[in-house]
């Protein structure tokens, strides 16, 4: 076995699992408590799930909560939370006004990332919009959302890291249904990411069948860590989400998982482990397409 020596220490990363409600203040307080729990355990990067701020009784409820880009109560809350705990915060998703669209009032499903100083480091608007109908359950995000169009990977660095030794952490952003489109993740891998983040609210039906399978596949094919915060339980609107928030390592190993209910899963991101996997099996270097 080839061993890679590295002076970079490991970095604790955490995924928050929630069972969000139609009430923003309730969800806000739950998110603050769970991020605080992760921070107290030493996490330096924490990710919230998709729709952490609201799982309404109707799809259209998110329209009333939509904020202007870069301004609003939810975005201020996320910035303050990152600053309070001096960590990198992947803010799940929130509805952001998209302006006038050809099909009427629609919003973007935005994942914004905040640094330890509370400033927004960047954001990603969900590209792939979920639709599903098995005769019993029916969903169509296109009724209220408009799709983003640009893959986003961020180089996270500050005066204290996040990876000691002077190297920034490269993080690829995605949201829920994006997980089914490997070409998005390939687009994020030039240069390769250390971490892929997937804030999600998978339905119970699709999650039970495909969630872990897809997360592990994205980790294996891109030889990096995957952090997947999720909604996990029975919501007030009657919808059941699969949960199973998890951290997956670059060899496809599930490092920690929470089946359902509120909580935090955490693991250590080890740059040396990423380098070792890529050295022993240089699949990324072998790409031809």
pLDDT tens for each residue of the chain, 289 residues long: 333 344 457 899 999 999 999 999 999 999 999 999 999 999 999 999 999 999 999 888 999 999 999 999 999 999 999 999 999 999 999 999 986 655 558 999 999 999 999 999 999 999 999 988 888 877 789 899 999 999 999 999 865 555 656 679 999 999 999 999 999 999 999 999 999 999 999 999 999 999 999 999 999 999 999 999 999 999 999 999 999 999 999 999 999 999 999 999 999 999 999 999 999 999 999 999 8
SS (H, E, C) the chain: CCCCCCCCCCEEEEEEEECCCCCHHHHHHHHHHHHHHHHHCCCCEEECCCCCCCCCCCCCHHHHHCEECCECHHHHHHHHHHHHHCCEEECCCEEEECCCECCECCEEEEEEEECCCCCEEEEEECCCCCEEECCCCEEEHHHCECCCCCCCEEEECECCECECCCECEEEEECCHHHHHCHHHHHHCCCCCCCEEECCECCEHHHHHHHHHHHHHHHHHHHCCEEEECEECCECCCCCEECCCEEEECCCCCEEEEECCCCEEEEEEECHHHHHHHHHHCCCCCCCCC
pLDDT value at residue 180: 97
C-alpha pair distances (Å), 60 with each of 26, 65, 105, 155: 19, 10, 10, 34
pLDDT value at residue 289: 86
**Sequence-separated (6 or more) residues with CB below 8 Å from residue 6:** 165, 271, 272, 275
As annotated, the active-site residues are: 50, 126, 176
**Which residue is it, tokens 């250590």?**
268
pLDDT value at residue 106: 92
What is the bridge-based pairing of β-strands 120-125 and 94-97? unpaired
Q: Taking the domains of the chain in order of start, what are their residue ranges?
A: 11-280
**Which residue is it, tokens 């799709």?**
147
Q: Please check whether residue 196 is in contact with residue 172, taking contact to mean a CB–CB distance below 8 angstroms.
A: yes
The rounded Cα 229 to chain-centroid distance in angstroms is 6
pLDDT value at residue 60: 87
Helical packing angle, 24-40 and 73-85, nearest 10°: 20
Query: Which class would CATH give 11-280?
Result: alpha beta
pLDDT value at residue 5: 41
pTM higher than the cut 0.85:
yes
**Which residue is it, tokens 């961020």?**
154
């Amino acid at each position: 076995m080839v061993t890679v020596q590295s002076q970079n220490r490991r970095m604790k990363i955490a995924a928050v699992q929630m069972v969000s409600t139609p009430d923003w203040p309730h969800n806000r307080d739950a998110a603050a408590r769970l991020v605080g729990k992760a921070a107290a355990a030493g996490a330096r990067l924490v990710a919230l799930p998709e729709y952490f701020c609201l799982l309404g009784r109707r799809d259209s409820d998110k329209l009333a909560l939509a904020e202007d880009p870069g301004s609003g109560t939810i975005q201020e809350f996320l910035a303050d939370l990152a600053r309070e705990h001096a960590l990198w915060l992947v803010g799940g998703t929130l509805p952001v006004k998209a302006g006038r669209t050809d099909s009427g009032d629609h919003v973007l499903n935005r994942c914004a990332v905040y640094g330890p100083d509370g400033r927004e480091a960047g954001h990603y608007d969900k590209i792939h919009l979920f639709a599903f109908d098995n005769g019993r359950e029916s969903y169509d995000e296109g009724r209220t959302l408009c799709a983003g169009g640009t893959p986003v990977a961020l180089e996270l660095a500050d005066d204290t890291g996040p990876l000691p030794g002077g190297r920034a952490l490269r993080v690829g952003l995605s949201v829920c249904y994006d997980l089914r489109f490997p070409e998005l993740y390939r687009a994020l891998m030039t240069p390769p990411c250390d971490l892929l983040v997937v804030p999600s609210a998978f339905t119970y039906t699709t999650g039970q069948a495909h969630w872990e399978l897809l997360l592990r596949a994205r980790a294996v094919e891109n030889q990096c860590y995957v952090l997947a915060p999720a909604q996990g339980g029975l919501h007030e609107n009657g919808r059941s989400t699969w949960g199973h928030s998890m951290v997956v390592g670059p060899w496809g190993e599930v490092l920690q998982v929470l089946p359902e209910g509120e909580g935090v899963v955490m693991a250590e991101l080890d740059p040396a482990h990423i380098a070792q996997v890529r050295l022993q099996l240089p699949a990324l270097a072998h790409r031809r397409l």
